[in-house]
């Protein structure tokens, strides 16, 4: 039986890592085999590309170069890890996927969605997540959380305006796509995790889960 592909998205500081851990625990309690991956990264080559994207450079890294690095990493992960795991019946939970590029490069970098859709079709074709859980929060709140974690990488050092554009694009796309569920990430963590589980249960099991 084919597995399911679930993606957790959101701005810096949204709490993706703890959200994914909560989802994995919930699925494993149902005796569902899971695999977690992250973007960019997830294979030796994709992790090397992640380092290229994240580090500071003494030259300008153009928005288009950043975008192409992201898609090169994504293709390696999808072809070498995600698709084989799904074919083996595992449920794959990803920290970011294609929606990140549409939001960060399409919105934040202002490349526009037409270019992104063309590139997505070329690289991924019709491969899409079964469910995307978007952790939404004010960029100022997220950046403060990120600063508290430690040193910021190249992208995390972008302006608040960049992250506001990114958030707006996230929400615009989510409004048009029923497979994307928006979760308020400014709630207490326990409430966020319960909302995620409720959304997953309703979308993939047809159940409402435990509501509060």
Q: Tens of pLDDT along 32-54?
A: 999 999 999 999 999 999 999 98
Closest CA to 12 of 110, 197, 141: 141
Distance, CA of 53 to CA of 65 (rounded, Å): 9
Q: Tens of pLDDT along 99-152?
A: 999 999 999 999 999 989 999 999 999 999 999 999 999 999 999 998 888 878
- Contacts for 110 with CB less than 8 Å, ≥ 6 apart: 63, 165
Q: Please report, for the chain, the start and end positions of each structural domain, with discontinuous segments joined by +.
A: 5-205
Specify the pTM.
0.94
Contact (CB, 8 A) for 82 and 36: no
Distance of CA 26 to the CA centre of its chain: 19
Domain 5-205 has CATH 3.40.50.300: yes
DSSP 49-106: HHHHHHS--SS---HHHHHHHHHHHHHHHIIIIIHHHHHTTPEEEEE--HHHHHHIII
């Amino acid at each position: 039986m084919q597995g399911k592909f679930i993606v957790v998205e959101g701005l810096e500081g949204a709490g993706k890592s703890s959200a994914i851990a909560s989802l994995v625990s919930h699925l494993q309690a149902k005796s569902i085999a899971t695999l977690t991956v992250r973007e960019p990264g997830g294979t030796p080559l994709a992790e090397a590309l992640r380092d290229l994207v994240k580090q500071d450079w003494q030259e300008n890294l153009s928005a288009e170069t950043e975008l192409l690095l992201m898609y090169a990493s994504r293709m390696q992960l999808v072809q070498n890890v995600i698709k084989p795991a799904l074919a083996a019946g595992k449920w794959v939970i990803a920290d970011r996927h294609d929606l990140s590029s549409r939001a960060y490069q399409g919105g934040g970098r202002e490349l526009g969605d037409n270019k992104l859709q063309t590139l997505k079709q070329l690289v991924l074709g019709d491969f899409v997540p079964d469910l995307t859980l978007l952790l939404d929060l004010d960029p100022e709140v997220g950046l403060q959380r990120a600063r508290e974690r430690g040193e910021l990488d190249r992208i995390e050092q972008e302006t608040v305006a960049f992250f506001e554009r990114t958030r707006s694009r996230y929400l615009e796309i989510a409004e048009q796509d029923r497979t994307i569920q928006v979760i308020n990430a400014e709630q207490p963590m326990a409430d966020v995790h319960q909302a995620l589980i409720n959304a997953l249960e309703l979308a993939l099991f047809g159940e409402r889960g435990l509501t509060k």
